[in-house]
Amino acid sequence: MTAIEADQRPPGFRCSTAARDRHDQRIGTAPPQNRWFLIEQPTGWGATAWAGLKVEPAVKETLMAILNHANARVMLIRRPGRETDTIGDRRRWCVVDQTAAEPVRWGWADDDAELIRAAELFAGVHPDVCRIADEPTAAGEPRLLLVCTHGRKDVCCATRGRPVAARAAELWPEATWECTHTGGDRFAGNLILLPEGACYGGMDPDDVEPVVRAQLEGRVDASHLRGPCGESSPVQAAVVAAYDRLGPLAWDQVHPLTEQVDEDERWTVLLEIDGVGLVEVTGHHEITDKNFLTCKADLPKRMYLSIADDLKPVVE
């Protein structure tokens, strides 16, 4: 095969199928944000959430500035099913902040200005913004479950994501939303539990109930876990290794403390695990061969992975 042929996508290429065939590592690839601004918009999703967001240009610029300063990610959301615009000008928003005393806050926006006021909740202002009372989550139920179905970003997100979202909606209709890009097109279907920030990939409809229920019941299933959102890749890899090798563990039992990366690209992460104690996870970075990582990729690219090698208790 010539170099030119090697840099061409095969006809009918689908990135998620290729990733599964290659057994691509999902671990350490969760989104880097732990703050999320969710905006209800059933139709008109563009190639990115920002491109598709239906607001005036000046409002979009203001929202970008607010969310960039807060290190928050904007996501468009809709209820699972076909794209039908039934909300008119009024739409729901949700501010999710894993670091806040009140990590999930819902409200209504009747105009663009109210979206700005809602986004400013990340800075602690406008506590009187139009709010929706947050119904208490029943024991054993997820609070917020997002599934990427962003077909305008990548075909695999729609073809694999929509069946996953439909299954989640059968089980937990109030918690489940389709959403725009979560990152990791090739890991579709992608599912995120908020406010916990647990990111799962490579999901099929039959995986939804066992994987989500395992987390809700305090025994995280690491087989589809990409990592905890908002952490670096080495920390994510260390956390997933703890769930995998020391489990069963509840999601809130594992706490990253410190991270160190050496010049030779080896890394060390210190975890505190409730009921276990201090655990040191060591690993290394690895660069893969070039592959097409999305369905629309023009050129193949390498992946930069964090690999957990060893996990051992710290003797004090």
Give the model confidence (pLDDT) of 8-42 as tens digits: 777 889 999 999 999 999 999 999 999 999 999 99
In this structure, the answer to whether residues 144 and 211 fall within a common structural domain is: yes
In this structure, the answer to whether residues 148 and 292 fall within a common structural domain is: yes
Beta strands 73-78; 35-40: pairing state: parallel
Q: What is the pLDDT of residue 26?
A: 96
What Rg do the C-alpha atoms of the chain give, in angstroms? 20
In this structure, what CATH number is given to the domain that contains residue 84?
A: 3.40.30
In this structure, the answer to whether residues 181 and 49 fall within a common structural domain is: no
Domain's final residue, options 71, 100, 132:
132
In this structure, the answer to whether residues 303 and 157 fall within a common structural domain is: yes
In this structure, the answer to whether residues 78 and 200 fall within a common structural domain is: no
In this structure, the answer to whether residues 52 and 183 fall within a common structural domain is: no
The mean per-residue pLDDT over the stretch 145-156 comes to 91
- 78 inside domain: yes
Kindly give, in sequence order, each residue whose CB lies less than 8 Å from that of residue 43, ignoring residues fewer than 6 positions away: 78, 83, 84, 85
- 186 inside domain: yes
Task: Return the percentage of the chain with pLDDT > 90, whole number.
Answer: 74
In this structure, what CATH number is given to the domain that contains residue 146?
A: 3.40.30.10
Domain's final residue, options 111, 132, 153:
132
Residue 127 has pLDDT above 70, yes or no: no
In this structure, the answer to whether residues 23 and 60 fall within a common structural domain is: no
The boundaries of the domain holding residue 42 are: 35-132
Give how many domains the chain has, as a whole number: 2
Structure tokens at 182: 């979560």
Q: What is the pLDDT of residue 1?
A: 33
- 182 inside domain: yes
Q: What is the pLDDT of residue 133?
A: 62
- 1 inside domain: no
CA–CA separation, 87 vs 95, rounded Å? 19
Structure tokens at 133: 């009372």
In this structure, the answer to whether residues 90 and 220 fall within a common structural domain is: no
Domain's final residue, options 132, 159, 182:
132
Structure tokens at 218: 């305090």
Structure tokens at 140: 């054993």
- 6 inside domain: no
pLDDT tens per residue, range 179-216: 999 989 999 999 999 999 999 999 999 999 999 999 99
Q: How sure is the predictor about 298, in pLDDT bands with cuts at 50, 70 and 90? A: confident
What's the pTM?
A: 0.92
In this structure, the answer to whether residues 170 and 282 fall within a common structural domain is: yes
Residue 84 has pLDDT above 70, yes or no: no
Are 143 and 113 a contacting pair, CB within 8 Å? no
- 209 inside domain: yes
- 165 inside domain: yes
In this structure, the answer to whether residues 128 and 191 fall within a common structural domain is: no
In this structure, the answer to whether residues 164 and 246 fall within a common structural domain is: yes
pLDDT tens per residue, range 234-283: 999 999 999 999 989 999 999 999 999 998 889 999 999 999 999 999 99
In this structure, the answer to whether residues 181 and 220 fall within a common structural domain is: yes
- 5 inside domain: no
3-state secondary structure labels for all residues of the chain: CCHHHHCCCCCCCCHHHHHHHHCCCCCCCCCCCCEEEEEECCCCCCCCHHHHCCCCHHHHHHHHHHHHHHCCEEEEEECCCCCCCCCCCCEEEEEEECCCCCCEEEEEECCHHHHHHHHHHHHCCCCCCCEECCCCCCCCCCCEEEEECCCCCCHHHHHHHHHHHHHHHHHCCCCEEEECCCCCHHHCCCEEEECCCEEECCCCHHHHHHHHHHHHCCCCCHHHEEEECCCCHHHHHHHHHHHHHHCCCCHHHEEEEEEEECCCCEEEEEEEECCCEEEEEEEEEEECCCECCCCCCCCCECCEEEEEEEEEECCC
